[in-house]
Structure 1
Amino acid sequence: MKEQSGTIVGIDWSADSHTCYDLKADKSFKIPDSVEGYGKLLNDYPEAVFVIEEANNRIGDYLLINNREVYVLPPCRSKEARKYHFSSGAKSDSLDAKAIALTFKEHPSYCLKARYSGVGAKITKLVTMYNIVSKTHSQQCNRLYSVLLRYFPEYLHIMDKQYRSNTSLRILSICPTITELKKVSNEELRKILNKENYRMTSILRKKLDRIRSEGISWGDTSCEGNLIMFLANQILALRGTAESLRKEMGETLENSPYRIILSIPGVKAVIGSYIVKAYLTHDFRSYQEMQKYAGTVPFLFQSGRKSIMLMRKKCDNDLRSMIHIAAFASLKTCGWARNYYKRKRKEGKTYGHALRALGNIILKIAFSMLSKMKE
């Protein structure tokens, strides 16, 4: 095939094959998810601009590694594109790929230019792992709460917020029911906990004694006991994995040219990794583009005669959450951040609006710092 100058190729990716649409030739075709399929795409379209729905996918990484020009379209945008370009409601992979290509042609500002970075690739993997671990941890904590409320409510109510502590979870992994707890004394528990560097405080002793006296035995509790034990052990394992990931994130940032990100108030290893990952995987032309991506500033959405301002609908939700956490953490450690927050509150801003404004400033500082660094 001849070289395609100025050609736009929209890609609707999937696990086994990828549907591509050549906007210039007005045709669609499929390639297998393999090196051979990727190679054919590169050979047939050496000068094309590739547009792909943003997600973790191998074809996007392959194109970037081979120095191709790649733009990513947020998933919400591609759904809007289908409705805008194909009002009939018909859906197919070919139409999706065509909608992606047409959106880039007609609304290039909706797409962000992607880029490849060695440091960025590693940080992206760490952030992906941390996302999975943290979300799984939240899910399992919620499941444990539900199970305790159903089968062991005395433990939940007496331990109160302490039930989610590492020491409490370790106790549940040893004595998951009232029957098992009554078989083990506080002194025996203390010896087991001490070997694993957990503390048995006087307050914890009193709570355990109270649980033993107020708890109700329901006969055979082996099934629910095994379930509670499983959840407690899994949560402890997830916390250990999360701590290892935090440590690796910190070491990766410290050994990279982007270590300066850690000097920003409220930004430590995890939050810094999320910010650096977003910066290194997208070619933001200005700090405003990065702020829009993170959902800290509004942007204009237009479709036909419809024109509205949106704040967070199209943003990276994980990055948005991290910026919010960074803004909140900076209030405890940074004088200018506290003063800025208080000033916004005096202006009549709500708690959330004031924190978002502070997060906006933090992200602007981060972009300014990172844009001056080179790998």
Structure 2
Amino acid sequence: MFVGDDWAEDHHDIEVMDSAGRRLARARLPEGVAGMVRLHALVGEAAGEAADGAEVVVGIETDRGPWVRALVTAGYTVLAVNPLQAARFRDRLGVSGAKSDPGDAHVLADMVRTHSHELRPVAADSAQAEAVKVVTRTHKTLIWERTRHTQRLRHALRDYFPAALAAFDDLDASDTLELLGKAPTPAQAAKLTVSQISASLKRARRKNVAVKAASIQAALRERHLGQPEEVAAAYAASITALIAVLTTLNTQIKALEGQVEAHFGRHPAAEIILSQPGLGVVLGARVLAEFGDDPDRYTSAKARKNYAGTSPITRASGKKKVALARFVHNDRLIDALLTQVFSTLKVSSNARAYYWRQRDRGKGHNAALRQLANRLVGILHGCLKTGTRYDEATAWSHHAELATG
């Protein structure tokens, strides 16, 4: 039997369909235990006497959450359907543009009935990998939030206190936030003494404190175009609030980093992932979290590369054939992989040689980086499949032969 599950925050629209496309049941179920119990009853009633041997395939537009976990635990085959795929399939069933939640449940049921072989089952990741994903995603989200608030702080300072931008390089650094909190207006900042500035720099464990303190004081006392005193005071109140948010974010990012290290360190694949060039604890944890650890999820290195979004897509029509970058991908994963690439270029001579070979072939900088990321994903896949650590000579032996041949 095939089940379409159109989920919302507090309910699920369900349609049960047989292999011939006949609707066996339809219902709106509440989220939670009560809804899951009713779903099991609905499936059981539809299956009748064959309930014990029935195979149930569920299509739903998400791959996480307690509802999905309960479906997998119950023994159902759960297929995660991309909302874009469902929208395209809906257009095949009708071109009027009509849409409803029960109608979406019907689309999902019919989609898994006819195209289940082309859809991705929900990965059976371990609880350890799920825990790593939770803390790494929150950690990265807080970093993104810190960047957004830092940009807001920069824009505010540019509008009324440009001397601060000349004085401080890192606006989200603890010493910068401390000094701006003490003196949020140009007039107050000009009165800061070298000893006050030095004390903040020492607490932040800066080097060359005396030189930096004198430089910061000089920059804060430079004459700049400003705002009337009343406007400056209003800006000062605004950035004081931003400073409080940034200070809290810094504290929580540091605390979550410890949780990322702890959860990742307990995973059995951590040693192999950390052996990869350019991957440290935090970045390695992100890569593990986004790839997952289901051993059957990626049937080949190509499948892992396709999911990563590093492999190109081909568009061919008539005599025209082009290879393009994938723009539909896991943003968090591609961010981690490209960060790994930049680090790898510094530590691996083979990776640098591979990058420059791509440039010599006429590829641009970004295309060469993606190609190197694609190669690194393939190396990681091989290491994880064979349970071996990264070895520079083994990983690049084939390309070294091509380069010298």
Give the TM-score, by structure 1 length. Answer: 0.86
- Pairwise mapping of residues 51-66 of structure 1 onto structure 2 (< 5 A)? 51-54=59-62, 56-66=64-74
Residues 103 and 366 (structure 1), Cα distance of their counterparts in 2 relative to 1, 3 Å cut: farther
| Rounded Cα–Cα distance in structure 2 between residues aligned with 1:273 and 1:217 | 46
1:68-116 C-alpha deviation (Å, 9 max, x unpaired)? 3222122332333333433211121122223333333444465322124
* Higher alpha-carbon deviation: 240-249 or 323-332: 240-249
Distance 2:325 2:26 in 1: 35
Q: Tell me the distance in 1 between the aligned counterparts of 2:164 and 2:108.
A: 53
- 1:218 aligned residue (228, 233, 238): 228
Deviation at 1:67, TM superposition (A): 4.2
TM-score, length basis structure 2: 0.80
What is the deviation of 1:140?
Answer: 0.9
> Counterpart of 1:78 in 2: which secondary structure?
helix
Consecutive unaligned residues of structure 1, counting only runs of 5 or more, are 1-6
Does the alignment pair 1:274 with 2:267?
no
Cα separation, partners in 2 of 1:140 and 1:85, compared to 1, 3 Å: farther
Structure 1 counterpart of 2:27:
29
Unaligned runs of 5+ in 2: 44-53, 388-405
Q: Secondary structure at the match of 1:371?
A: helix
| Corresponding residue of 2:376 | 362
1:177 is aligned to 2:191: no
Larger-gyration structure (1/2)? 2
Residue 3 of structure 2 aligns to which amino acid in structure 1? Answer: V
Which residue of structure 1 aligns with residue 274 of structure 2?
262
Aligned with 1:202 (options 204, 207, 211): 211
- Amino acid aligned to 2:384: L
Encode CA deviations 1:271-328: one digit per residue, 9 max, x unaligned.
32232223337622222222112111134699xxxx9976423311211121111112
In the TM superposition, what is the alpha-carbon distance from 1:196 to its structure 2 partner?
Answer: 5.4
Shift of 1:164: 4.4
1:231 to 234, 237, 242: 242
The structural deviation recorded for 1:242 is 2.4
What is the alpha-carbon distance in structure 2 between the residues aligned to residue 169 and residue 159 of structure 1? 12
Matched, 1:96 2:119: no
Counterparts of 2:63 and 2:150, CA distance in 1:
27
The aligned amino acid for 2:195 is E
AA paired with 2:29? I
Q: What's 1:3 paired with?
A: none
Could you tell me how far 1:358 is from its partner in structure 2?
1.0
Distance 2:322 2:41 in 1: 42
Say whether the 8 Å CA contact 1:299–1:311 is kept in structure 2.
yes
**Which one of the candidate residues 333, 347, 352 is aligned to 1:338?**
352
Cα gap change, 1:366/1:85 in structure 2, threshold over 3 Å: closer, same or farther?
farther
Query: Following the alignment from structure 1 to structure 2, what is the Cα–Cα distance between the partners of residues 29 and 298?
Result: 42
Q: Which moved more, 1:259-268 or 1:275-284?
A: 275-284
**Distance between the aligned counterparts of 2:94 and 2:179, measured in 1?**
58
Give, in whole Å, the separation in 1 of the partners of 2:323 and 2:77: 30
1:150 aligns with 2:150: no
Match of 1:286 among 300, 306, 310: 300
Identity %: 23
- 5 Å-filtered alignment, 1:63-102, equals 63-102=71-110
